[in-house]
Amino acid sequence: MACGGDDNKLSLDSIRDSLIRQEDTIIFNIIERIKYPTNPTLYKQPCSVNIPDFSGSLFQYLFQQTEVLQSKVGRYLSPEENPFFSNNLPDSIIPPTKCTPVLHPAAESVNVNEKILDVYINQILPLFCKEADDGNFATTAACDIHLLQALSRRIHYGKFVAEVKFRDCTDEYKPLILAKDRDALMKLLTFEAVEEMVKKRVAKKAMAFGQEVTLNDSTAKEVKCKVDPTLVSRLYDEWVMPLTKLVEVEYLLRRLD
């Protein structure tokens, strides 16, 4: 979706297809992360080990260093990717690809990762994981980074959703943007029936992806699921979709700049 060479491809259906595919990544990443307990020591500030010139948590250190490396190889040249620690990221050593941008240039200033990180550590992890420290900090942080990047990509996809909605219904969106009417924009971009389908589908996927696969199907065993499907549905209901809509509103408010 980074390049808009063929504008015919930019439709609400194609963007929703991408959101559906991203659900798989998010659910598999949740299953990986919840193998470990919350591991609160990882997020404690300052961290217990002495890292020269650094005062944050061990998790922040690992994540920032990961982003520095990924930035050097061009991750943040893609409009689908938004850094969590944007201060002092190095330039890419890989040149950008030449393509027509899909999004309005103001899209770059829309970044809700601070909010995502806060709800992830303080609300999502305690909901999904057992409260304990098991000492597997580096592996846990690697799982966190994968999951947070997948959540961030999904939520910031709201920019593409909003762009298509704006292009499809410019006459309806324009006056609300000019009036800076957040509530009316939120109402106009909301499709409750779609949200209900998303919640049901992610619960069904969690049930399917979380199943134990055995070769012996004859013994009727109670189906054990690696992740609680109702929690995945709640994750989407309480955080993923509301934050996606926040991104949509923030993008639309800047769409005529």
Ligand X SMILES: O=C(O)C(=O)C[C@]1(C(=O)O)C=C[C@@H](O)C=C1
Largest Cα–Cα distance in the chain? 63
Taking each helix axis from N to C end, the angle separating 58-72 and 137-156, rounded to the nearest 10 degrees, works out to: 60
Minimum distance, C-beta of residue 136 to ligand X, in the bound complex (Å) = 32
Residues 114, 165: Cα–Cα separation, whole Å: 26
Nearer Cβ to ligand X, position 62 or 253?
A: 253
Q: Which positions lie near ligand X, rule CB under 6 A? A: 16, 19, 161, 189-191, 194-195, 198, 241, 244-245, 248
For ligand X, the closer of residues 67 and 248 by Cβ is: 248
Considering the complex, state which of residue 111 and residue 139 has its C-beta at the smaller distance from ligand X: 111
* Separation CA 155–CA 33 (nearest Å): 19
- Smallest distance from ligand X to CB 152, Å: 14
Rounded to the nearest whole angstrom, what is the least distance from the CB of residue 190 to ligand X in the complex? 4
Q: Identify the three-state secondary structure at position 39.
A: coil
Asked if residue 195 lies in contact with residue 241, where contact means CB atoms within 8 angstroms, the answer is: yes
Nearest residue to the partner ligand X, using Cβ? 244
Q: Give the number of other CB atoms < 10 A from CB of residue 21.
A: 10
Task: Find, among 157, 171, 199, the residue nearest to 19 by Cα.
Answer: 157
Q: Return the number of the residue (137 or 160) whose C-beta is nearest ligand X.
A: 160
Q: Minimum distance between the CB of residue 245 and ligand X, rounded to whole angstroms?
A: 5
Q: What is the token pair recorded at 192? A: 């409750």
Q: Which is nearer to ligand X, 91 or 168 (CB)?
A: 168
User: Minimum Å distance from CB 38 to ligand X?
Assistant: 26
The dihedrals phi and psi of 3, each to the nearest 5 degrees, come to -105, 145
